[in-house]
C-alpha cells in the first residue's frame, strides 16, 4: 500500500465513531482508534505494535484471545468462548458481558 493510502486508511479508522482496533495475522495491533482510547483509557501509541494479546488487558485484565483472533477458527471453538455468536457472511457478531471491565460490568456488541 502506498504511504499516502495508508495514511488515509489510518485516518478513516481513527475517526470511526465505534471503538475499533485492528490486528494483523500475527496478532500485532496495527490500529487503535480514538473511540477505543476513550473506552479503555489506553492511548494508541502505547498499544500500536503490541502483540501477545496485550489488547485484551484493558477488557479482561489478562492476556487472552479476543473475537478478532477467533475469526479463523472453527465455529465450535468460537461458540465455546461466546454465548451468542452470529455469522453474517465473513463477519462474526457477538454479544458479551465483561464483569470486570467497569464496576457493575459492561455489555458489549462486537464484530470481527
Q: In the structure, what pLDDT confidence band is assigned to residue 3 with cuts at 50, 70 and 90?
A: low
Q: Which residue has the cell 458479551?
A: 96
> How many of the other CB atoms lie within 10 Å of CB of 107?
9
pLDDT at 79: 82
Task: Give the pLDDT confidence of 13-70 residue by residue, as tens digits.
Answer: 999 999 999 999 899 999 999 999 999 999 999 999 999 999 999 999 999 999 988 8
- Domain 1-64 is found in CATH 3.40.190.10: no
Query: Which three-class secondary structure state does DSSP give residue 96?
Result: strand
Q: How far apart are the first and last CA of the chain?
A: 22
pLDDT at 84: 85
- 12 has pLDDT over 80: yes
- Give CA–CA dist 111/35, Å, rounded: 15
Query: Which three-class secondary structure state does DSSP give residue 97?
Result: strand
Q: In the structure, what pLDDT confidence band is assigned to residue 1 with cuts at 50, 70 and 90?
A: low
pLDDT at 90: 86
Residue intervals of the chain classified under CATH 3.30.450.20 are 1-64
Amino acid at each position: 500500500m502506498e504511504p499516502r493510502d495508508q495514511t488515509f486508511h489510518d485516518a478513516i479508522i481513527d475517526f470511526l465513531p465505534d471503538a475499533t482496533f485492528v490486528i494483523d495475522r500475527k496478532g500485532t495491533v496495527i490500529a487503535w482508534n480514538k473511540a477505543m482510547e476513550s473506552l479503555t483509557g489506553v492511548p494508541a501509541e502505547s498499544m500500536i505494535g503490541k502483540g501477545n494479546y496485550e489488547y485484551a488487558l484493558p477488557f479482561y485484565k489478562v492476556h487472552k484471545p479476543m473475537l478478532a483472533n477467533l475469526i479463523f477458527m472453527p465455529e465450535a471453538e468460537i461458540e465455546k468462548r461466546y454465548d451468542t455468536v452470529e455469522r453474517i457472511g465473513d463477519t462474526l457478531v457477538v454479544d458479551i458481558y465483561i464483569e470486570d471491565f467497569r464496576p457493575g460490568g459492561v455489555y458489549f456488541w462486537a464484530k470481527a
